[in-house]
């Protein structure tokens, strides 16, 4: 890994066993991501995007190959160590907002803070980020009182509460209309620019992909090209 590299994937393969049938989801994938880079990954359904995402995030083990995240070889970590890495180093944003419906937006974020082992004392830097995300005045509202765009911004705040080095976003605008999609994409871009947030975003939308510094195209479990 280079001095500025934060993710290194080498000769990565993943096979799923579906009964008696073996499905090869990833085929000898190599990928290098620089610190503070905004990388977008595009490709059709079944191209291996989400599998790559889950392996980099330590959610799914590879069948073969090497994955290093923030200097850690994932294959050398115990399950507890991988959990700690996710808690401290990687934030996740998904297409579904996954907010707890009975809690306010603020409490949804507070739960993530608790899980991350962070103190409950005021955090001026995170309060500034809430202002930046435009939800500081909406924290007392439950998810059903928020728009889809606001719910996704709460989900982003929750993912960033532990100030992770890496943000993994899987189709973060998939459930949003055009206007809210643009707001969320601009926020991700600005987070990357202002806070140096390394971001990997999966999308099927070429317009969304254009927000990244670089785009990786996948098909049939392989990286076909980078632009």
List, for residues 28-76, the tens digit of each pLDDT value.
Answer: 999 999 999 999 999 998 899 999 999 999 999 999 999 999 999 999 9
Q: Residue 120 pLDDT more than 70? A: no
Nearest to 29 by CA among 16, 1, 48: 48
Q: What is the pLDDT of residue 87?
A: 85
Domain range holding 136? Answer: 5-226
Q: What is the pLDDT of residue 126?
A: 80
pLDDT band at 88 (very low <50, low <70, confident <90, very high): confident
Nearest to 120 by CA among 128, 132, 111, 129: 111
Mean of per-residue pLDDT scores for the chain? 90
Nearest to 181 by CA among 198, 199, 206, 159: 206
List, for residues 171-192, the tens digit of each pLDDT value.
Answer: 999 888 999 899 999 999 999 9
Cα 48 → chain centroid: 15
Domains of the chain: total:
1
CATH number of the domain within which 188 lies: 3.40.50.300
Q: What is the mean pLDDT of residues 195-205?
A: 92
Nearest to 88 by CA among 152, 36, 34, 159: 159
List, for residues 132-184, the tens digit of each pLDDT value.
Answer: 889 999 999 999 999 999 999 999 999 988 889 999 999 999 888 999 899 99
Q: What is the pLDDT of residue 135?
A: 92
Per-residue b/e over 35-62, b at no fewer than 16 CB within 10 Å? ebbbbbbbbeeebbbbbbbbbbbbebeb
Which residue intervals of 28-147 are DSSP H helices? 49-56, 79-89, 105-115, 124-133
Q: What is the pLDDT of residue 1?
A: 42
Q: Residue 23 pLDDT more than 50? A: yes
Q: What is the mean pLDDT of residues 76-90?
A: 90
Q: What is the pLDDT of residue 161?
A: 85
Q: What is the pLDDT of residue 218?
A: 95
pLDDT band at 117 (very low <50, low <70, confident <90, very high): confident
Q: What is the pLDDT of residue 132?
A: 87
Bridge partners for 199 per DSSP: 38, 167
Nearest to 149 by CA among 114, 174, 129, 122: 174
What whole-number percentage of the chain has pLDDT above 90? 67
């Amino acid at each position: 890994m280079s001095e500025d590299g934060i993710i290194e994937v080498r000769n990565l393969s993943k096979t799923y066993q579906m009964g008696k049938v073996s499905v090869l989801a990833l085929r000898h994938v190599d990928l290098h991501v620089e610190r503070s880079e905004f990388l977008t990954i595009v490709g059709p359904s079944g191209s291996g995007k989400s599998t790559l995402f889950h392996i980099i995030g330590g959610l799914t083990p590879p069948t073969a190959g090497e994955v290093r995240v923030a200097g850690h070889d994932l294959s050398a970590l115990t399950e507890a160590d991988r959990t700690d890495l996710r808690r401290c180093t990687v934030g996740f944003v998904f297409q579904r907002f996954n907010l707890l419906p009975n809690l306010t937006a603020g409490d949804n974020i507070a739960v993530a803070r608790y899980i991350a082992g962070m103190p409950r004392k005021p955090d001026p830097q995170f309060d500034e980020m809430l202002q930046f995300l435009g939800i500081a005045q909406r924290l007392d509202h439950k998810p059903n009182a928020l728009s889809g765009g606001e719910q996704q911004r709460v989900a982003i705040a929750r993912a960033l509460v532990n100030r992770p080095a890496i943000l993994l976003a899987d189709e973060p605008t998939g459930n949003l209309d055009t206007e809210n999609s643009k707001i969320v994409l601009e926020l991700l871009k600005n987070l990357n620019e202002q806070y140096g947030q390394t971001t990997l975003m999966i999308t099927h939308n070429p317009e969304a992909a254009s927000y990244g510094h670089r785009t990786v195209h996948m098909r049939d479990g392989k990286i076909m090209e980078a632009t």
